[in-house]
Structure 1
Amino acid sequence: MPGLFITVDGPGGAGKSTLLPLLGAALEEIGHTVHLTREPSAGLLGRAARERTVDFHGLSLACLVAADRFHHLATEIQPALARGELVLCDRYVPSSYVLQVLDEVPLEYVRRLNAPARRPDLALILTAAPDLLDARLRERGAHSRFEHDGSSGPEVRLYDELADLLIEDGFPTFRLDTGEFSPQAAVHAITRHASALLSRNQAE
């Protein structure tokens, strides 16, 4: 069976951490071998990018994140896909388009930096109303300096503004508002979409 590469992006508080384990379990129940991973990765480069956003800014952080991505692809994602596994990745290139632009890196630079990165078979974009996201972030706490300013509005707007560009750059997007769907309903919708995509890939 061919592998399938699914990425999950969206603003902080959109529900990625809640949804991914549920989605992985649901996909395993219908017969897929699921490989859960995330970016920045658990490797040396990824830990630096994840844990030291206070120290790294702008171009240096954008390049560090991209370097971790290419290493992650070569050492973990592509081998799993070659084994026929379904890879679920928490954050990928769409997050770079948004977060690096918020960090004052020109969008065109971010696009070119990430142009060689493998495109997913499905790019899930989770979202919700900014006030709901802000309430969730206050409840769980911020994970990086990008979540410390108390407002999700700019991040949500950028995901909205870049939706067409992501498609143009080869990211087949599927968008879900987690303020309107329960985690279980979202998992059902995504599982159905992923299964249809896998069946189409097998037929080809």
Structure 2
Amino acid sequence: MAGLFLTLEGLDGSGKSTQAGLLRAFLEERGLRAVLTREPGGGLPEVRDLLLGGELSPEAEYLLFSADRAEHVRRVILPSLERGAWVVSDRYLDSSLAYQGFGRGLPLAWLLEVAKEATLGLTPRLTFLLDLPPEEALRRVKDPDRLEREGLAFFQRVREGYLFLAEREPHRFVVLDARRSVAEVAEEIRARLLPLLP
């Protein structure tokens, strides 16, 4: 495929959405076609409110994320990549592994088995993990949704999950200190991308 798939991950409040928008603008400034998308809701927008507002079992929660992701991959990400666009996604599969796997305690083997079909095996070229202590992340969240109200211990497990995933795939993950300024984080993301730019 002519395009390139990039994702941003991290705890709520880490600045992912801000950096995703800045990254798309940077790519467009370089003359590249860029598509900005997000999960949940990238494939099935109506699922977002249910996932962030309803009461669900951990299994149902993950399966809904996976249904949304399956449509996201098929409707948005793959067609954009095939057209030669660079796709920037605010969250992807690593969010589910961290939140539903490490946070909720669902078995990683099952999560990955479901994900294999949902994603058609599509993996990002680079994943920027905006790492932030959970205490700071919770302070930054102003209007918490259902997941953001889970409390400190939950977010500590999610952060540990993210760092585990990053350690397991160091060739894909770029871990960034999200305590720094927006400008500093954006500059490091751009520096890491320069070798990939045409």
Shorter-chain-normalised TM-score: which range?
A: 0.7 to 0.9
Instruction: Tell me how far apart the structure 2 counterparts of residues 47 and 186 of structure 1 sit (CA, whole Å).
Output: 32
How has the CA–CA distance of structure 1 residues 162 and 121 changed in structure 2, closer, same or farther, with 3 Å as cutoff?
A: closer
Instruction: Tell me how far apart the structure 1 counterparts of residues 164 and 2 of structure 2 sit (CA, whole Å).
Output: 33
Q: Which sections of structure 2, spanning at least 5 residues, go unmatched? A: none
SS at match of 1:63: helix
Is the 2:9–2:127 contact (alpha carbons within 8 Å) kept by the matching residues of 1?
yes
Instruction: Tell me how far apart the structure 1 counterparts of residues 26 and 140 of structure 2 sit (CA, whole Å).
Output: 24
Aligned pairs, how many? 190
Instruction: Give me the TM-score of the superposition, normalised by structure 1.
Output: 0.84
**What is residue 189 of structure 1 aligned with on the other side?**
188
**What is residue 49 of structure 2 aligned with on the other side?**
51
The equivalences for 1:39-188 within 5 A come to: 39-44=39-44, 46-48=45-47, 50-53=48-51, 54-101=54-101, 102-116=103-117, 117=119, 118-137=122-141, 140-142=142-144, 144-151=145-152, 152-165=155-168, 167=169, 172-179=172-179, 181-188=180-187
Is the 2:130–2:177 contact (alpha carbons within 8 Å) kept by the matching residues of 1?
yes
Share of identical aligned residues, percent? 33
CA RMSD after TM alignment: 2.0
Is the 2:178–2:185 contact (alpha carbons within 8 Å) kept by the matching residues of 1?
yes
Is the 2:39–2:89 contact (alpha carbons within 8 Å) kept by the matching residues of 1?
yes
Instruction: Tell me how far apart the structure 1 counterparts of residues 193 and 32 of structure 2 sit (CA, whole Å).
Output: 11
SS at match of 1:52: helix
Instruction: Give me the TM-score of the superposition, normalised by structure 2.
Output: 0.87
Instruction: Tell me how far apart the structure 1 counterparts of residues 30 and 184 of structure 2 sit (CA, whole Å).
Output: 16
Deviations 1:132-184 (A, max 9, x none): 112102xx221x3221033232221221233234x28xx711111110x3211
Is the 1:4–1:121 contact (alpha carbons within 8 Å) kept by the matching residues of 2?
yes
